[in-house]
A and B are shown apart, each in its own frame.
Chain A
């Protein structure tokens, strides 16, 4: 069975991989603890104004103009293009804020400035979204664990959830380390990473289960290596196609979904790695053996019946 495919000794590197994963996690947790997340307007509450300039805008000029007009503590940055300016202000609410900011900046400038976007999120709403987001993530992990435990076996579900937790932490840690803004769309991306990474992990787990039932002589370690080698080309091809579209999204999708694309790029890369090294590694650590999968449910038989 395995003779036709080159078997790579993935598990031979498992100690190194464990150290590597722990290192990544340590950096992520450390960064989250010390630097925290650069939460977007959705989660912090406050006001945001996006302006379009005709020519390249000078951030320092804008800052001093705003200060002169009485907008203290304004955060000014470019958004995608040097002519596109994003201004974030504290949480006082004013329906005419956008127009006021525009008027204040238009005064000292002969070029035409366009009000592109104006957002306000109440502090209360922001806090609720933060809570809901965390809750949703936990719920998703729990439901998936339940499903995997039901379809596979308990050890597999622990392995899958460990891999997912690993991926989510590293993606969030990445956003913390580089202080990239974390908003609602990024949260959606993180949940999509859960979906993607899981997809990968299930495919590998499926093969591990199959091989445990089919190959009687080989050790657990060998079965892992065979299964991972068999699924390797599929894992890589799917990752490449997904990464291709994500790169397209990151490059051409515009600034509004840049964070989203970045989160998924990191997530898919880490997810690919984790389905090879984290989920399988966790199974070995929990001492997965043939007995765990016996008596085998009549899966193959079912599969044929279920086929449309």
Chain B
């Protein structure tokens, strides 16, 4: 008998190999050091004249660039080395100023025709290219409490409109609201009124000697919706802020119910990044209280830059930072830092209406920050972290209103240029819907990243070489065929990883190394079977055929079970573990293809077409 593959099978294998080679090839092109430019508002477009300004500035400084690219939204300038890139970033930032984001980037040099078919290099994880990883926890309790506050005022208004007299509306410890009435009949009317208008509440009544109560609790569904909203809002805001930071290819992603992952490749100054990302700063604009105002309608706050000095403000808020549509940090006539603010139309109207009747009175700008104290307590012998959130509001300016304010005005009285640009950035990017806390932070320096890559590549190369030599020594010609299959396996693995745009991490490289070691297993199984069949007296061609056939179920079962372990690893793992699980899973699938189909094709090509007396295996 002869061992031959039908033409279609050979063609299929060749087709898969060609596709694999095509999609693996972008990884051969080294990345360029680049600087990426983008406008931070729609009005600041990156266009050809701007690029010309930048390039002429670079020429003036004697910095040589390789190429300039302009897309609809951003520009990219490539450089030959990292040093020039860093210098160029300085130059470009100075030239463009505040209105543009200038970010360092590693730009792939994939040729256009490859890009057009969706090919691109594998992405490198933070542990390989350096950068900052944050895990933020969104304070859901605060998000829900904030929403409840809105409901409190709504319910109060409703009851007043219907002339239902209530004694008080208070928050309970468990997160529900307690409305107190003088008698049960009014309470029951109020209950049916609230029930009619709100489906998001669970209502209960309680009669004690202290009074008649209506207990309002949010339904599970509503709470979930509020939490979802808070997370989404925070994601948007965080994305805006990260964009303002000027990071190329950042990742901002929800993880689990109440967490957000932020990854900033290439960023080294973790502290600065954190200051911007985690800040729940907001502004409130309020009028100063009249001297005769009653206590219940006013709040007293300290000044931010003058501890000890206090101002008495009205409780009513004119607008908050969420009405701000643009903010720029500039300097006034005296060289003092200031923030020029533009309000949206609704904010402008509110501001105009209030200030019209308040000329010559003073208006305060309150700086609101959500903060938390962390207490470490020992409970039952275990250390437990407890965060006590609190809100800090301080006055940053209190100035006389000279004329009716419209939708644009300025805030002065800030500390130094750094603070004004940070405040402007935070106002532009929007406020966080709920406070966030950092629960995990990892920073990897760029030199460590480079070292990790170098060591990873070295160990793959050496491990690979050892396996190749070993297989050749044991199986000779068959070993050579298995080795070719192994090389193809590595290529396919890289191709699939690139195609999935999976991220390569250090444990991922370890996964590749392990796959190399384990991938030969299928071939070893097949060859061992062929040897056995030869010993059992089968002629060479039949032994080859029987060896491949008999080994198949074993290979299949063994690989499926390993795949189960890898998939579980992927689904429960985070970060580094996921990277390992991906390469392992992909490696199992590609190794089954190469070890069974490709090796068989190679064996058929080598031995299949002739009569064999003996087989060296």
Contact = CB atoms under 8 A, between A and B. Distances in A.
A260 interface: yes
A188 B565 contact: no
A202 to B, nearest CB: 4
A254 B366 CA distance: 52
B447 A188 contact: no
B384 A195 contact: no
Contacts of A261: 510
B507 interface: yes
Nearest to A308: B597
Given A124-B385, A192-B580, A144 B561 contact: yes
A238 interface: yes
Contact of B467 (A129, A241, A303): A241
A82 interface: no
A227 B538 CA distance: 20
B553 A93 contact: no
B458 interface: yes
Interface in B447-468: 447-448, 451-452, 455-456, 458-459, 462-464, 466-467
Contact of A260 (B270, B447, B507): B507
Given A206-B554, A256-B127, 18 more contacts: A50-B448, A116-B447, A116-B448, A117-B444, A124-B385, A184-B576, A185-B577, A192-B565, A199-B559, A203-B558, A241-B518, A242-B517, A245-B463, A245-B466, A245-B516, A246-B514, A247-B466, A257-B507
20 contacts: A95-B275, A118-B441, A122-B439, A125-B439, A147-B564, A184-B574, A191-B569, A192-B580, A196-B518, A198-B561, A199-B561, A202-B561, A244-B463, A246-B513, A248-B466, A253-B456, A257-B506, A300-B550, A304-B549, A307-B549
B447 A245 contact: no
Given A245-B516, A303-B549, A303-B553, A95 B438 contact: yes
Q: What does DSSP make chain A's interface, helix, strand, loop or mixed?
A: helix
A195 B561 contact: yes
B457 to A, nearest CB: 9
Given A147-B561, A234-B524, A249-B510, A119 B445 contact: no
Interface of B: 9, 127, 135, 137, 270-271, 274-275, 374, 376, 383-385, 438-445, 447-448, 451-452, 455-456, 458-459, 462-464, 466-467, 470-471, 474, 506-507, 509-511, 513-514, 516-518, 520-521, 524-525, 528, 531-532, 535-536, 548-550, 552-554, 556-562, 564-566, 568-569, 572-577, 580-581, 584, 596-597
Nearest to A148: B561
B542 to A, nearest CB: 14
B385 A91 contact: yes
A120 interface: yes
Nearest to A98: B443
A96 interface: yes
Interface in A178-205: 184-185, 187-188, 191-192, 194-196, 198-200, 202-203
Contacts, number: 255
Interface size class of A (residues with CB under 8 A): 35 or more
Contacts of B556: 306
Given A114-B445, A140-B564, A264-B514, A1 B536 contact: yes
Contacts of A203: 525, 554, 558
A66 B187 CA distance: 64
A286 interface: no
Contacts of A4: 532, 535-536
A252 B525 CA distance: 29
Interface string A142-166: 0110011001000000000000000
Nearest to A160: B561
A242 B514 CA distance: 7
A249 B572 contact: no
Interface in A203-248: 203, 206-207, 230-231, 233-234, 237-238, 240-248
A23 B365 CA distance: 73
Nearest to A261: B510
A230 B573 CA distance: 38
Nearest to B533: A4
B553 A299 contact: yes
A186 to B, nearest CB: 10
B439 A139 contact: no
B548 A307 contact: yes
6 tightest Cβ-Cβ pairs between the two chains A and B: A245-B463, A122-B439, A248-B463, A254-B455, A242-B517, A245-B517
Interface in A58-115: 91-93, 95-96, 98-99, 114-115
